[in-house]
Amino acid sequence: MTGFNYENSATGYAGTERRANFKLRDVFEQAYRLAFPLMDSGQVAKVGSTTHFLRVILHDAFPDLHPQDISILSVSIERVFRERSKSGI
């Protein structure tokens, strides 16, 4: 019997896995790299929102993802972009 592998785990307060969609976790960094030029281009200020364009890019890159997963991924990418921009990463 082996113990729980805490390496690479995203645990919540109770020590249980809080993220259930591992497929999105697997594609997140690739999706972020695809979306970064759009987010960083300065077009955000001109267009007002990148949501539609971001979802089109993600759907084209990952056609097997369900539309709800595309939505979740786009919101996550926008949030991470804002957080990384604040911290200078």
Mean pLDDT (the chain) is 77
Cα angle, residue 31 at apex, residues 25 and 33 outer, rounded to 5°? 120
Instruction: At 31, list the tokens.
Output: 């999706």
Q: For the residues 36-62, what does the mean pLDDT come to?
A: 79
Residue 64 belongs to a domain: yes
Residue whose entry in the numeric block shows the structure tokens 């785990």 = 9
Domain count, the chain: 1
Residue 62 belongs to a domain: yes
Residue 35 belongs to a domain: yes
Confidence label for 77 from pLDDT (cuts 50, 70 and 90): very high
Q: For the residues 49-78, what does the mean pLDDT come to?
A: 91
Residue 4 belongs to a domain: no
- The pLDDT of residue 56 is 92
Residue 66 belongs to a domain: yes
On whether the CB atoms of residues 72 and 54 are closer than 8 A, the answer is no
Residue 75's CB: how many other CB atoms inside 10 A?
A: 13
Residue 75 belongs to a domain: yes
Nearest CA-CA partner of 59 in 44, 71, 47, 49: 71
Residue 61 belongs to a domain: yes
Residue 13 belongs to a domain: no
Confidence label for 89 from pLDDT (cuts 50, 70 and 90): low
- The pLDDT of residue 52 is 85
| Distance (Å, whole) CA 78 – CA 55 | 11
pLDDT at 48 over 50: yes
